[in-house]
Amino acid sequence: MSAITDSKPITLFQAVQVLMTKSGPAELGIWMGETEEDAGSIVHHGLGRHIRNAWGLWDESSDLAKHMSACGFHHGDDRSSAILTCLHRELNKKPWRLEELVEKFKTYWRKHLNPGDFEKMYGSES
């Protein structure tokens, strides 16, 4: 995984490209044979945690976290999940459908946060 963390992507596209080019065929094989949901669950605590920490997805001042927030992903877990979901979709030649992903996370947080905290995360337009 060190080859992955040696790179510092600043956009979602760059993050997916780093994972595609720096991961080995065996690592990427998981994405090909699993459903999107299962693939994400399998790597959430391994590769997901690794990129959250190495790429500063919890750090609101990191370039990648700022970019991901601008895309609508405001939580470190959501950011890594979006990156890994887009990787899965890219490898399986599917469209990324970012708006759908943002709505998925908004729906989750709307149910799990009080309205004030949800508004802090997503703003008043949500």
| Model pTM score | 0.91
Q: Is residue 6 in some structural domain?
A: yes
Q: What is the pLDDT of residue 126?
A: 61
Helices (H) and strands (E) in the chain, counts: 9, 0
Answer for the pair 12, 68: CB distance below 8 angstroms, yes or no.
Answer: yes
Q: What is the DSSP letter of 38?
A: H
Q: Is residue 106 in some structural domain?
A: no
Q: Is residue 123 in some structural domain?
A: no
Report in angstroms the alpha-carbon separations of 103 from 5, 62, 82, 100: 29, 23, 12, 5
Q: Is residue 125 in some structural domain?
A: no
Q: Is residue 124 in some structural domain?
A: no
Question: Is the per-residue pLDDT at 98 higher than 90?
Answer: yes
pLDDT tens readout for residues 23-81: 888 878 877 788 888 888 888 788 889 999 999 999 999 999 999 999 999 999 999 99
Structural domain that includes position 76: 2-97
Q: Is residue 117 in some structural domain?
A: no
User: For the chain, what is the domain count?
Assistant: 1
Q: Is residue 7 in some structural domain?
A: yes
Q: What is the pLDDT of residue 44?
A: 76
Q: Is residue 40 in some structural domain?
A: yes
Q: What span, in angstroms and rounded, lies between the C-alpha atoms of 57 and 69?
A: 10
Q: What is the pLDDT of residue 37?
A: 87
